[in-house]
Amino acid sequence: MKKIITKIKKLPLKKKIRIAAAAVLTACFVTVAMVSSWFSNQKKAAEMYKVEYPNALYINAAYREDQVYFDLGGIEVNGFLRDENHDLINADGTPLGEDDEPVPITKKEYVFSVSGSNTTQFILQMAHTNNNMFTYKVYNATQVTTKPASGEYITFEPHLNSHTENPLLEIGSDIIDKNRTDPLYYIKGEQILGDGVNSSYKNPTGTYSGGVVLANKSTADKTYYYPTYGDNTEVEAHSVPSYWQTTLENTSAEIDANKRFRKYFILEVTWPNRPASTEENETDLMYFSAKRIA
């Protein structure tokens, strides 16, 4: 090292300047290369996140609209079937005649969706309290743009500018048009979540084969009761929630080239014919959740 320093000292001034400049340029080049590499990696990571949305799951209304459009308000338990002009109609849609009895409304249906990416299997869970006479069931659904000729379906009218929560606007050939106002139709499929063993009893005991766990202290399985309420025996019975869940799988045909998927469902809310009590002061709390497991 001393020999090198001695040789450098003996060099002419111009040569020393050239060596110093070369050293500075080399250091700058190494620094720029490292910084450029860091920025390149960050850009690639950002692009990957933008394209794939790792492990993202979204619960939205029909047509993957924001949750505000999944509104359970406005259920009229003592209402009658009416047309778009609010005139009474029969079950087949014909005008009500003088001798015809009004047809009571006994159910209301809502469309919702679960979409995401990098998910081949997930759990869909529904939980609700039991303050009202409502019975809840969930069916899978298929979205089509043409009115079905037969079968049970729901007509949905898209809302403008209603996709601020879910960035997955393109999933395979299903591309969201934010300006669409033409109706969409959702064909009702098979039931995937039910109302327990005995649908005539609002908060039944036992376990439903579809995956229901009831958080009721009187059931044999108290798994969901004690973590929430402990040994408290003063909890109002109808406020104790019931849980329904099922495991859903995405087939290869349901996942697009960007590893994204979407599934549509119909929530059916039913109640007895002309209930004796409207329970106007009672409210059910209801929750949906989706959890990725693979």
Residues ≥6 apart with Cβ < 8 Å to 167: 53
Residue 47 and residue 81 in one domain: no
Residue 221 and residue 272 in one domain: yes
- Classify residue 179 by its DSSP letter: T
Q: Please give the radius of gyration of the chain, using alpha carbons only, rounded to the nearest integer.
A: 31
Q: Structural domain tally of the chain?
A: 2
Residue 37 and residue 80 in one domain: no
Q: What residue numbers bound the domain in which 287 lies?
A: 56-292
* 171, amino acid identity: I
Quick check: 227 pLDDT over 70? no
Taking a C-beta distance cutoff of 8 angstroms, is the pair 56, 116 a contact?
yes
188 C-beta neighbours (distance < 10 Å), count = 19
Residues ≥6 apart with Cβ < 8 Å to 124: 114, 138, 192, 193, 245, 246, 248, 265, 288, 289, 290
Quick check: 82 pLDDT over 70? yes
User: How much is the pLDDT for 30?
Assistant: 53
First to last CA, the chain: 60
Least confident of 35-49, 70-84, 147-161, 273-287: 35-49
Helix (H) or strand (E) holding 78: none
- State if pTM tops 0.75: no
Residue 35 and residue 60 in one domain: no
Residue 151 and residue 284 in one domain: yes
Residue 116 and residue 184 in one domain: yes
Residue 69 and residue 22 in one domain: no
Segment of 8-17, 114-123, 205-214, 228-237 carrying the highest mean pLDDT = 114-123
Residue 34 and residue 65 in one domain: no
Q: Which of 30, 52, 74 is the last residue of a domain?
A: 52
Identify the bridge partners of residue 124 per DSSP, sorted by sequence position.
246, 290
Segment of 71-75, 145-149, 223-227 carrying the highest mean pLDDT = 145-149
Q: What is d(CA 57, CA 248) in angstroms, rounded to the nearest whole number?
A: 13
Residue 137 and residue 242 in one domain: yes
Residue 11 and residue 115 in one domain: no
**What's the token pair of residue 14?**
């111009």
For 38, 72, 95, 109, 198, the CA distances from 76, given in Å and listed in that order, are: 60, 11, 20, 13, 25
Taking a C-beta distance cutoff of 8 angstroms, is the pair 190, 222 a contact?
no
Residue 157 and residue 183 in one domain: yes
Residue 63 and residue 47 in one domain: no
Q: What is d(CA 60, CA 166) in angstroms, rounded to the nearest whole number?
A: 8
Quick check: 8 pLDDT over 80? no
**What's the token pair of residue 221?**
């399985």
pLDDT band at 207 (very low <50, low <70, confident <90, very high): very low
pLDDT digits (tens, 9 = 90+) for 87-142: 888 888 888 888 888 888 888 899 999 999 999 999 888 888 777 778 888 899 99
For 98, 186, 196, 247, 248, the CA distances from 193, given in Å and listed in that order, are: 40, 18, 9, 11, 11
Contacts 24+ apart (CB under 8 A), 91-96: none
HEC string of 151-218 equals CCEEEECCCCCCCCCCCCCEECCEECCCCCCCCEEEEEEEEEECCCCCCCCCCCCCCCCCCCEECCCC
